[in-house]
Amino acid sequence: MNRFYILISRVAVTLLFLWTLAGTGRALDSDALSRQAGELMAQGDLPGAVELLRQIPVPPKGADAGAFVASRMQMARIYVSLNEADKALAASREVLALFPDNSEARNAVAAIQKQQQSRWLSLLDDSRKFLPALLKGATMTLLLVLCTMLVSPLGGLLIALGRISTFRPLSAACWFVIWFFRGTPLLLQLFFIYYGLPAFGVTLPPLTAAVIGLGLNYSAYLGEIIRGAIQSIDQGQMEAAKAIGMTYGQAMRRVIIPQTYKRLMPPIGNEFIALIKDTALVSTIAMVELMRSADQLFNTYFNITALALAAAIYLLLTSIFTFIFEKIEYRAGIYEHR
């Protein structure tokens, strides 16, 4: 009886050894096939690589399935590059048949099925997915534009008045402001305000830093525009205002500046339309506006639709502002049309 048990044990050990050896052989064969397929892919022989990858067998239950899954997913990618969507789906579904929760295979099936949709349906799905984030970013862009539009005309008017002042220190200071902010890049100014001021103990939140940077930059540009418009008014207007008893301030407020509105609208409108696009620069100081939102979506999904939608929103905003400024320009010169 003992000899019988010993014989049975030896047979079991031998069978186990042979089964292990066979599994190892399969693993070695799978690795060799994968390497050969990789070499063929490097040489550009994609059909040959597919044939080698197809030879990697389905693993037995409980065995390592890594080589099989990798081969089928590589086959799916090759079929996609060859525009054979049905075969790519079949390769991905082989993986899902064994591992229903495999995320790579599920994402591949979803992506391939999406590619098989019509372009309009695909664009509609992408728009539905991307627009909420883009509109949220566009809201921040509008907030920046409106805040700058409130700050910069007032700052520009003060700079223009100081620039034409007969008080030389004030005129020189306003000239320096215009020279500095027009002569350095807006991006550099934003960097200095947000990243440089903390070195002097002044730390600003991104929105505040963006409004200050945009406001100062556009105040400098508008200052020169307003100065040119004021000085374009005939000097006799000021003399006539003073002749009837007006002070310098009254003459500027009631006579000179109102006559500049018609001349100011086109260049100021151009500046504010450029402002809509320049707000994209604040994405570099951690502000999530329209451009930053589009960039994040593109880096996440690698889908150019996000950038196209952002461009469409920018065009819509600039078109709206162009229409508004054209109406304001017409109203400002309504008496000249009569």
Residue 194 lies in a domain: yes
59 and 148 part of one domain? no
232 and 126 part of one domain? yes
Q: What is the pLDDT of residue 231?
A: 87
Backbone angles phi, psi at 185, to 5 degrees: -65, 145
Q: Which whole number is the average pLDDT over 153-168?
A: 92
Task: Give the pLDDT band (50/70/90) at residue 3.
Answer: low
- 33, 68, 101 — which closes off a domain? 101
Residue 207 lies in a domain: yes
Mean pLDDT of the chain: 84
Q: Are 201 and 277 in contact (CB under 8 A)?
A: no
138 and 231 part of one domain? yes
**pLDDT tens digit sequence for 53-65:** 888 888 887 777 8
pLDDT reading at 77 higher than 90: no
Residue 111 lies in a domain: no
How many distinct structural domains can be found in the chain?
A: 2
218 and 151 part of one domain? yes
Residue 128 lies in a domain: yes
Residue 47 lies in a domain: yes
81 and 126 part of one domain? no
- 40, 72, 101 — which closes off a domain? 101
Which of 101-115, 161-175, 179-193 shows the lowest mean pLDDT across its residues?
101-115
130 and 272 part of one domain? yes
Q: How many residues does the chain have?
A: 338
298 and 197 part of one domain? yes
Residue 290 lies in a domain: yes
**pLDDT tens digit sequence for 245-274:** 888 888 888 888 888 888 888 899 899 999
183 and 308 part of one domain? yes
Q: Which whole number is the average pLDDT over 178-196?
A: 94
Q: What is the pLDDT of residue 25?
A: 43
3-class SS of residue 269: helix
- 57, 72, 101 — which closes off a domain? 101
256 and 145 part of one domain? yes
Greater pLDDT, 88 or 189? 189
171 and 234 part of one domain? yes
Q: Which whole number is the average pLDDT over 235-240?
A: 87
Q: Residue 16 belongs to what domain range?
A: 2-101
Residue 279 lies in a domain: yes
**pLDDT tens digit sequence for 80-136:** 888 888 888 888 888 888 888 888 888 888 877 777 766 777 778 888 889 999 999
